[in-house]
Structure 1
Amino acid sequence: MQLHITHETCYDYTPAVNIAQHMAYLRPLNTANQQVLSHTLSITPEPTQQTATLDVYGNTRAFFSLQTAHTQLHVVARSLVATQAPDLWDNTVRWEQVRERFRYCAKNPFDAAADFVFASPYVPRHADFADYARPSFSAQPTLLLAARDLMQRIYHDFTYESHSTEINTPAREALAQRTGVCQDFAHIMIACLRAYGVPARYVSGYLLTHPAPGQPRLVGSDASHAWVSVYLPDAEDGAVGGRWCDFDPTNNRDGWGNPGEDYVTLALGRDYADVSPLRGVIHGGANHRLRVAVTVEPVEREAWTGQSQNQSQGQNQSQSQSQTL
């Protein structure tokens, strides 16, 4: 499947902002199940400085600074991504094996997934998460079954309610009130998994939505999405390495049993704090208004075939531009 994503962010400032520095995580990742065919990032007003680097988790972060007064910031990211269904997963690994793999022991080989076992700014350690997850881990013998059971319980026990939480709402508060949005559900599931010693990371991205029958697809009506990725280490004793399996508690879908071609991974981190799409520091602009519009559109196969040559010719140019942001 080929998906075209337009992510538009607009800030209106009163009074004007004099100086600003921003960091954007808006370029999708290249992974085993998706390939970025083209990507552009448009910023108005034109930045004084732009650079793009990779962070410690392999995400592309674009830094830009504005040194002139401005009353509006307009950032538009356009990406063309090819996705495919994930491979089958090994469902024989027990969650206790995973916990023991990451229990500290002198001279154990290092596994980079250990970064995702510990608490992080939005995912604290607390007994409430262990208590909520206990039925899933006590009833299911393998890691994937336990994670799927936990995902399904969050899906059924919690109510998705827009504006019921803020970006900085603690995960424990969302757990107690049983309401939230995709970011909250992802943080809660991650906290539950980490409470049992299982590496789990936060995934930001996009999900292709389908309009109601007979209704047109509305431009800008989609939104960023968030879900969870669980680490499945190699089953062999002493082996280092493994794979990640995605679980979406908001929609009760996982990369183990569902195709997942309609998901686009944007960035990976310990929690939202690592991968917020756009953040920054400004001088001035005491009041601001934010508008965000996201559009995820499937590219028709016939149109893709006809445009493939032009896209491939422009791909190298687009990619080189994005690497010099």
Structure 2
Amino acid sequence: MLLRILHRTHYDYQGAIDMAQHMVHLSPVQSASQKLRAHTLTITPEPAARSQTVDVFGNLRTFFSLQSPHETLTVEADTVVETSVPKSLPNSAEWLALSWERVREHFRYRAKAPYDPAAEFLFPSPYVPRDDAFAAFALPVFTPDLPLLEAARALMERIHTELTYETASTEVNTPALQALAQGKGVCQDFAHIMLGCLRSLGLPARYVSGYLLTQPPPGKPRLIGADASHAWVSVYCPLPQSLEDSEGKTAAPNGIWVDYDPTNNRCGWGSPGEDYVTLATGRDFSDVSPMRGVIQGASAHELKVEVTVAPPEEFAGLESV
């Protein structure tokens, strides 16, 4: 599937900003399930300095600085991505039979065990603590000897069924425990809650930011800027043979990440579906927020974010929101 994404962020400041530094994650990653065909990032006013780097999680990020007074800032990413979904897991019978307890034991600390990079996603992160409340929510579906991928799917379904998706019910910095306690939130909250549940059981999981192709209501046209960013979760499943060698020693780590979207109750290896675009992965939203920064000057502002996801051929006839 070929998808074009327009992501426009506009700040209107109530006074002049003297200087500013910003970091953006707006360039989708390359992977087996998606290929980046085109990408442009337009910044107005023109930055005094601009550079691209790859962060510790493998995401492409852009830093820019503005060193002269400005009262507005517009950042627009225009991207074309080709997506696909692998037909099935390699050695699927082995992956599907691996119990969640065995994966948990694999990640318990052992002296001289080889380093597994997935272990980075076991620990608390700025937006996702490890807490008994998360474990208590997850344990009813993490029954003994249940395969990890089945248990993760059952957790996804429980979050989707028992929590209410409600726009504006939380803020970007609402604690995940608060969202769980109130039983409602948005996709970011659902992803953080699922991460908290998995990590609190000793299972590595990471935050995924991206986009999802949506359809307008029946009889209504698709509009430019009517979509939004999306978030879901990836769960790490080690290769069964890598857990132990024939002598009972831990072998070299190897595994896959399987995606789960508790907002829409969809999952899949590589991505939940070809209508998804992965932008970046990290420990939680704080690692991969589309745009963040520091400013010197007036702090009050109005922010407008517009996102459009559609096949490229549809853009010619679209109207603005």
TM-score, normalising length from structure 2? 0.91
Deviation at 1:53, TM superposition (A): 0.1
**1:166 maps to amino acid:** E
The match for 1:196 is 201
Letter in 1 for 2:177: R
Secondary structure of the corresponding residue to residue 240 of structure 1: coil
Find the aligned partners of 2:123 and 2:4 in 1 and give their Cα distance.
35
Q: Within the alignment, does 1:44 sit opposite 2:57 as a pair? A: no
Verify: 1:248 aligned to 2:261, yes or no: yes
Counterpart contact for 2:261–2:272, Cα < 8 Å: no
Name the structure 2 match of 1:299.
312
Other structure's SS at 1:255 match: strand
Q: Does the 8 Å CA contact 2:259/2:271 hold for their aligned counterparts?
A: no
Identity among equivalent positions (%) equals 59
Tell me whether 1:226 sits opposite 2:231 in the alignment: yes
- Deviation per CA, 1:132-166: give whole Å up to 9, x if none: 00011126610011000000000010111111101
SS at match of 1:104: coil
Counterpart residue number, 2:162: 157
**Residue matched to 2:278:** 265
Query: Match for residue 92 of structure 1?
Result: 97
Q: Secondary structure of 2:203's partner?
A: coil
Tell me if structure 2 keeps the 8 A contact 1:92–1:142. yes
- Per mean C-alpha deviation after superposition, the further-off stretch among 152-161 and 254-263 is 254-263
Counterpart position of 2:64: 64
How far is the alpha carbon of 1:43 from its aligned partner? 0.0
Give ranges in structure 2 of 5+ residues lacking alignment: 90-94, 245-250, 317-321
Aligned to 1:14: 14
- Preserved CA contact (<8 Å) 1:174 1:184: yes
Indicate which of 96, 103, 111 corresponds to 2:108. 103
Q: Which residue of 2 aligns with 1:173?
A: 178
Number of equivalences = 302
Match of 2:153?
Answer: 148
Alpha-carbon distance in 2 for matches of 1:92, 1:72: 55
The code of the aligned residue for 2:24 comes to A
Distance (Å, rounded) in 2 between the aligned partners of 1:74 and 1:50: 15
Question: In the alignment, which of 212, 232, 237 is matched to residue 217 of structure 2?
Answer: 212
Query: Does the aligned pair in 2 maintain the 1:113–1:231 contact within 8 Å?
Result: yes
Q: TM-score, normalised by structure 1?
A: 0.90
1:186 is paired with a residue whose SS is helix
Partner of 1:274: 287
Q: In 1, distance between residues paired with 2:186 and 2:271?
A: 22
